[in-house]
Amino acid sequence: MSNFIVAVDGPAGSGKSTISKLVAEKYKLTYLDTGAMYRMVAFYSLEKGVDLDNTAEVELMLKNINIDIDGDKFILNGVDVSHEIRTPRVTSIVSKTASIRSIREKLVELQREIGSGKRVILDGRDIGTVVFPNAHLKVFLVASPEERAKRRLKEYKEKGIKSDYNSVLESIKERDHIDSTRKESPLKKAEDAIEVDTSFLSIKEVSDKISALVRERI
C-alpha cells in the first residue's frame, strides 16, 4: 500500500510518542509528533510576547512562523528549538495555544500536507477525529494521571529539567481538562479507534500490541 496512515491519540504521558517511534521504525513509517508543532507556536508566542487573546496578533504570528521538521529536529524560522519546546514554561501554555481555531487550522493543514500519500504514523489529540478521519488504523492510548505524571517526571529528570511530582501531576490534569473540554477539536476517542490502557503494560507490551494491529492492515 503506497498510502498508509496510523493515528495515535490520547492524553499527555499515555505513551504516544514512545510507541509511535518504535512502530515507525519497525514498519518504516514517517513519524510526526503533532504536539511538537503546537509547542513550537506556543514557544514563539512566549518569545515574542504575543497576546493569544488578540486575534490580529495571532494572525500576524501565524504569517511570520515557518515550521520545518527534519527527523526529530524541530526548526522554527531556521532555528532548532527541539529542546526549548519541552520545558515546563512552554508546557504550561501549550493547551491554551492549541485551543485557538486559526492556529489549529494552520497546523492541521500542514499535518495533512506532510501525511498525504505517504506511510505515516502521527500522534496527537485529534488525528483520528479531525486530521485523518479515514486513517487505516486508529489507536487511543490511555493511562491513569498518576502513572502519566510518573513517566513525565522521569523524562524531565533524564533531560535535566527541574520539576517535582505534584506540579507535573497538576499540569497533566490541567492539560487533560483544557484539551478535552475545548470547543475546537477536543481530545476524544474516535468511534472506530482501538483503546489501549497502558497503565500496567511495559513499553514492549504496548508496542507489540500496536505492531500486531499494523501488521493486520498494512
| Residues of this chain that bind ligand C5P (CB under 6 A) | 12, 34-35, 38-39, 94-95, 98, 124-127, 175, 179
Shortest distance, CB of residue 108 to ligand C5P, whole angstroms? 8
Q: Output phi, psi for 201, to 5 deg.
A: -115, 150
All three cell numbers of 114, joined, read: 506532510
Minimum distance between the CB of residue 201 and ligand C5P, rounded to whole angstroms?
Answer: 19
Is there a binding annotation on residue 124? no
Strand partners, 74: 69
Of 1 and 171, the one with the shorter C-beta distance to ligand C5P is: 171
Q: Which is nearer to ligand C5P, 34 or 45 (CB)?
A: 34
Cβ within 8 Å of residue 34, ≥6 positions away: 107, 111, 122, 123, 124, 125, 127, 131
Nearer to ligand C5P, 192 or 215 (CB): 192
In this complex, which beta carbon is closest to ligand C5P, that of residue 20 or of residue 207?
20
Q: What is the distance, to the nearest Å, from the Cα of residue 212 to the centroid of all Cα atoms in its chain?
A: 22
Burial label, 75 (beta-carbon count in 10 A; 0-12, 13-18, 19+)? middle
Residue 16 annotated in ligand binding = yes
Binding-site residues for ATP sit at 10-18
Binding-site residues sit at 10-18
